[in-house]
Structure 1
Amino acid sequence: MGSSSSFWSLAFRQGMRSGAFLGEIYCFLHVTTNYVGFVGYAFGPSMNPTLHPSGNFVLAERISNRSQKPIRGDIVVFRSPENPTKTPMKRVIGIEGDCISFVIDPEKNDKSQTIVVPKGHVWVQGDYTHNSRDSRTFGPIPYSLIQGRVLWRVWPFQDFGPLGPTPT
């Protein structure tokens, strides 16, 4: 009977150690992805040639709305104003106060429009403007929808490298 008791005691201690280790891993991942950075997947033609249409894994840093604001040329991940379950990646073309002129639908005609980006918002567009749903469709996006700033392409490995701001 003594050996059975020691077996369960040993199993219990080992289970508690394993559970604590899994809890620590979960806490580390939670804090890292919610407050430091995360890995995202970008696919589709709108950011071609910067990001490949068949897909790139990217590393993005979280942006605190109070301390950091995106600058022109940054690629940002944001919650879509049209569908909150989607998180597209686009380039910041204009920041609050900028006057932006753009062709409304480059595929159909040359009709253009000019807008002043309101306070607390940014104007985002895909690099491949002929095939991109962006601020030309849904307007400027508020800072509160921005999830992070893309820093690196990490996969496929031949595309590995930094993605700093590009002059617009």
Structure 2
Amino acid sequence: MASPSSFWSKAFRDAIKSGVFIAKIYCFLHVTTNHLGFMAYAYGPSMTPTLHSSGNVLLAERITKRSQKPSRGDIVVIRSSENPNKTPIKRVIGIEGDRISFVIDPRKNDQSETIVVPKGHVFVQGDYMHNSRDSRNFGPIPYGLIQGRVLWRVWPFQDFGPLKPTLT
């Protein structure tokens, strides 16, 4: 029969091994989501018809966030300037230096405005401009608020695949 001290030493070794394993998994997930890519959830009508209004799970990457500026047509995940807890998904319509003309509120009238996108900013807009809060409402977004670029639609499965940059 094993002594009580050997029981506790074995239990201690097993606990340490389990703790190290959990720490390794946590470190892997932390590095992956903060430096490589992450899953984003998009719902609502603002990106219709590209994304379903009932909800999409998307894979976004962070690698080019630091090395390459977004291009026109890219779908990006941004940190909301109005509510930092929200991460809306929009399409880049204009990059720094572009002159953008847009209809301010297409539901009410056809009054338009033209702006030049400032240095270090992008102009983002939802694909369904009749029901989207975007740069027309809150202005151009600084590069620092861009969390990542959407690469793939993961859910719903029938539409699984890459999302290519396009201008709609």
TM-score (norm 2): 0.96
Q: Map 1:115-134 onto structure 2 (within 5 A).
A: 115-134=115-134
Asked if 1:22 corresponds to 2:18, the answer is no
Q: Which residue of 1 aligns with 2:164?
A: 164
The question of whether the paired residues in 2 share the 8 Å contact of 1:63 and 1:147 is answered with no
Structure 1 unaligned runs (5+)? Answer: none
Aligned partner letter, 2:9: S
CA distance in 1, matches of 2:84, 2:60: 19
Q: Map 1:1-168 onto structure 2 (within 5 A).
A: 2-63=2-63, 66-168=66-168
CA distance in 1, matches of 2:167, 2:103: 19
Displacement of 1:21 in angstroms is 0.2
Structure 2 unaligned runs (5+)? Answer: none
CA distance in 1, matches of 2:57, 2:47: 13
CA distance in 1, matches of 2:51, 2:65: 25
List, as ranges, runs of 4+ consecutive aligned residues in structure 1 with deviation greater than 6 Å. Answer: none
Aligned partner letter, 1:34: N
The alignment covers a number of residue pairs equal to 168
Aligned partner letter, 1:28: F
Aligned partner letter, 1:160: F
- Compute the RMSD of aligned alpha carbons: 1.3
